Amino acid sequence: MKTEKEKMIAGEYYLAGDPILVKERRKAKNLLHRLNVIEYRITKKAREIIQELIPNAGANLYIEPPFHCDYGYNISCGDNVYFNVNCVVLDCAPIIIGSNVFFAPNVQIYTANHPLEAELRKTLENALSVTIGDDCWIGGNTVICPGVNIGKGCVIGAGSVVTKDIPDNSLAVGNPAKVIRKLNE
């Protein structure tokens, strides 16, 4: 039988109040408190906190506090990833970020999803993975919804709400985000 954590990562319905998940979220919140309140500036100690919080990151992950996430361990980054201030990354399911990806202020990445049926929603939730390819720039105040894949080389315009997959080398803008043109052609 699967644990609640295994169900969560697999995208199945799970109990968010599971004691192991609660403990792991608490650990992440303690690390975030140290990063966002105690250190706040990017110091050697802040880099150590980021490395502990997000152990699956390549070289040069830079996070400008404040930063918020659920677990941290479900975030995987390539090299040279930059999060500007006030980004929210709800990583109940895996979030896979390529190399050379830049997030402007207030970007929000959601994997958490909830049943439409009210009775189920009282106890269960699920999460859908998000993938962002290499060489992307995500504009300020963008929301990336559960289950979305953004291809390599994309630019997502500020204030966009990405509800569907975006193909490689696309400029997408709006709510919902729509591809308005191909890039590098």
CB-based burial, 99-123: b 16+ in 10 Å, e otherwise: bbbbbbebbbbbbbbeeeeeeeeee
| Distance separating alpha carbons of residues 90 and 69, to the nearest angstrom | 5
Q: Single out the residue of 18, 114, 100 nearest to residue 59, CA to CA.
A: 100
Strands 95-97 and 130-132, bridge-based pairing: parallel
- Out of 25, 34, 114, 152, the active site residue is 114
- Which tokens hold the place of 31? 């690390």
Half-sphere exposure of residue 62: CA atoms within 13 angstroms, side-chain side: 13
Task: Tell me if residue 114 is catalytic.
Answer: yes
Active site residues: 114
